[in-house]
Structure 1
Amino acid sequence: MKAAICTGYGSPEVLQIRDVPKPTPKHYQVLVKIHAADVNASDCIVRGFKLSRWSPKGIMMGAVIGFRRPRNPILGMIFAGEIEAVGEGVKRYKPGDAVFGTTIKGGMNFGTYAEYKCLSQDSIMALKPASISYVEAAAVPYGAGLALCFLKKGRLQRGQKILIYGASGAIGTAAVQLAMYHFGADVTGVCSTKNLDLVLSLGAERVIDYTKEDAATLGERYDLILDAVGKRKSSTFKEQCQQALTGKYISVDGGNPHYTLDDMRLFADLLETGKFKAVIDRCYPLDDIVEAHRYVDTGHKRGNVILTIA
C-alpha cells in the first residue's frame, strides 16, 4: 500500500511517499481503507519535533514517539474510511461500514497517512452519517474533539457568554458551533477581516476583527475565554484577559485532550441533524503531503486541511 513516511524530524520534506506492506487485522481489530485524513497542527509539531530535545516536554515527547525519528513513521491521527475486513472476535463493526474517528486512545498512535490502517474495534470511531462525505467526516474529529474537551474544562453553561480567539481555525470553527448549538452559549469570535463572514455563518452572535480592535479593551465581560490558537498563551496575555474580561481563561496549550467514543457519536449526531458543519480550507492528494504540511505550517488555514487518499 501507499503511505507517507516520516524519515526523520524536520521540515515537510522529511515526508516521503513509499510502498509499504498492507496490514492484516488481528483478533479484535478492523482493517480500515482510509479515504480521507486530516492534516493538523499537532501532526506538524510531531513532524518537526518543535520542542527542545532536552526540555521536560521534549524528553517526554521523545520517550513516547521516538528521539531521532517517529517509532511509527506513518503520521496522521484522524481518518474517515470504510471497514474492509475484520479480525476474529469483532462484533461492533462489519465489512462495508463507513467510519470516522481518531487513532488517539491512551497514547500517541498514528498511521492515517496511508491507504490502510488496522485499529482495535474499541478505538474512538463512529459510523459516518450517510449524508456527509468522507472528506467532510475527516474534517471533524480533531477540531471538534479538542474544542469539546476545552469547553467542558471551562464548564460552559447555557446562556453564558464566551469569547473565542482564533475562531476561524480548525478548533475555533468547531468551538463556535459547539458553544452555540450544543452548549447554548452566547458566542463572540475573534478573527481576521477575511474570516468575519465565515465565523458569523457558523453561529457567532458577533465577531471582533483583531486587525482593527482589541477585545480586551472593548469593555465586554465574558464567562469563558477560549484561546483556540495557543499563540496567546503567555502569562501576561492571560492576566490581561482575566483583568479586562473577568472570565475564566482556557488555552488549547493547557493540557492534553481526552477523546471518548461518546464524543464521536455526538459529532455523528450533530452532523446528521445539521447542527455541525465541517469547515474545509483545502484538500490535497496523499502524493502532495509535503505541500499540505507546508500550508498548515503557515498558521493561516481556515478550518481544516484534508488528505484525499482512496
Structure 2
Amino acid sequence: MKAFVSRSYGSPLQLTDIDRPVPGDGEVLIRVRATSVQPYDWHFLRGEPYVARLMAGGPGLRKPPFAILGADVAGEVEAVGKGVTEFAPGDEVYAMPKQGGFAEYVCVPESELAPKPENLSFEEAAAVPMAANTALIALRDSARVLPGQKVLVNGASGGVGTFAVQLAKAFGARVTGVCGTRNVDMVRSIGADEVIDYTKEDFTRNGQRYDVLVDIAGSRPASACRRVMTRKGALVLVGGPAGRWVQPAGHVFATLAAGTFASQRTVMADVVRCTENRRNLTTLTELIESGEVHPVIDRSYPFEEIPAAVRYQEAGHAAGKVVIAV
C-alpha cells in the first residue's frame, strides 16, 4: 500500500510503498477513504515544541514515535481480526486512531471504531473525530456547560472552534465566537449568537461576562480572560500560540498553575489521553444526524498532496477543517 512516512523530525513526508497491515485480535482493517490534517500532525512532524519531547505521550525525544501520521480516519471495513463481532467488511466507519491515517489502509481496535454518520460523505466524516471530540470534551466534560449559560469561544473559526460553537448551541448555551474579519459571517452562520472580530475589538475589555471561556487561540493572557468571566466560571484550555521551544505547552501549563489562585475553574481539554473515543463519536454521530452539528471544511486535497495540505494547515489560516480524499 502507499503511505506518507516520516522517519525523523523535520524530514519531509515521503510517499512510500509499504506492506499492508494485518488486523490482530480485536482489530479492524480499514480501507481509508478520507483523513484530515490538524496541528497534532505537524507538531509530531516537527517534534515541536521541544519541551513536549520530554512529556509522556509527546512526540518522543529523538524521533517520532510512529512513522505514519494522521489522527482522523473515515473509510470502509476491509477485514476483521479474531474476536471482532460488531463490524464486518463493507461497513462504513470512522475513528480517531492518533496515527496511521496518511495511508491507504490502517488497523484500528474495534473499541475505537464507530459507524460513520449516514448523512456525511467520507471527507466530511474525516473532519470530525479529533476536532469534534476535543470540542465535546471541552464543553461537556471540562466546562460542564448548562442550558442558558453564556459561552465564549476564542478561536471560533478553526477546526475545534467551529465544532465548539455548534456544540455549545446544541447544549442550550448562548454563544459568542471570536475570530478574524474574513470568518465573521461563517461563524455567525454556524450558530453563534454574537461574533467578535478580534482585529477590531478586544473581547477581554468589552464589559461582558461569560460562564465558560473556551480558549483555543491562546491569544490573551489568563488574567485578561478571567476579567470577563463570572466568579464561578470555567476557563477551558485547548491550545495556544505555536512555538519551537515551549509554546503552546508553556501557555497551557502557566495558565493552569495560575488558576489555582483564582475563584474560576481552569481546566484543560485533553483529547489525546481520552479513553472514551468510541462513546464520544457515537454522541457526535447522534448530533450530526439530527442536524445540530455539521463539519465546516475549508479545503480538500487529494492523497498525493498531503504535504501541501500540512503546509497550508500549519500556516494557520484554515477556516474549519482541511481534509484529504484518499
- Provide TM-score, normalisation by structure 1: 0.90
Aligned to 2:252: none
Aligned to 2:290: 273
RMSD: 1.6
Q: In structure 1, how many angstroms separate the alpha carbons of the residues matched to 2:285 and 2:236?
A: 26
Aligned residues: 292
C-alpha deviation, 1:300, in angstroms: 1.2
- Which among 233, 238, 258 is matched to residue 252 of structure 1? 238
Query: What per-residue deviation string (whole Å, max 9, x for no partner) do you get for residues 239-273 of structure 1?
Result: 11112443422110435222432210011111111
Aligned to 1:107: none
**Aligned residue type for 1:58:** R
Query: What per-residue deviation string (whole Å, max 9, x for no partner) do you get for residues 218-243 of structure 1?
Result: 111110111122354xxxx1111112
- Which among 61, 67, 79 is matched to residue 61 of structure 2? 67
**Aligned residue type for 1:86:** V
Q: Give runs of aligned pairs for residues 1-310 of structure 1, distance below 5 A.
A: 1-10=1-10, 14-52=12-50, 55=51, 57-60=52-55, 65-104=59-98, 110-123=99-112, 125-151=113-139, 152-181=141-170, 183-232=171-220, 237-246=221-230, 247-253=233-239, 254=268, 256-257=270-271, 258=274, 259-309=276-326
SS in 2 for 1:265: helix
**Aligned residue type for 1:238:** A
Whether the aligned pair in 2 keeps the contact of 1:142 and 1:170 (CA below 8 Å) is no
Q: In structure 2, how many angstroms separate the alpha carbons of the residues matched to 1:69 and 1:101?
A: 25
Whether the aligned pair in 1 keeps the contact of 2:54 and 2:60 (CA below 8 Å) is no
Query: What per-residue deviation string (whole Å, max 9, x for no partner) do you get for residues 173-229 of structure 1?
Result: 000000001x11000001111111111111111101111111111111110111122
Q: In structure 2, how many angstroms separate the alpha carbons of the residues matched to 1:266 and 1:130?
A: 14
Q: In structure 2, how many angstroms separate the alpha carbons of the residues matched to 1:191 and 1:64?
A: 29
Whether the aligned pair in 2 keeps the contact of 1:219 and 1:245 (CA below 8 Å) is no
Q: In structure 1, how many angstroms separate the alpha carbons of the residues matched to 2:322 and 2:187?
A: 17
**Aligned residue type for 2:46:** G
SS in 2 for 1:207: strand
SS in 1 for 2:106: strand
Query: What per-residue deviation string (whole Å, max 9, x for no partner) do you get for residues 131-172 of structure 1?
Result: 210000001112110011111201211100011111000010
Q: In structure 2, how many angstroms separate the alpha carbons of the residues matched to 1:203 and 1:37?
A: 26
- Provide TM-score, normalisation by structure 2: 0.86
Q: In structure 2, how many angstroms separate the alpha carbons of the residues matched to 1:67 and 1:231?
A: 28
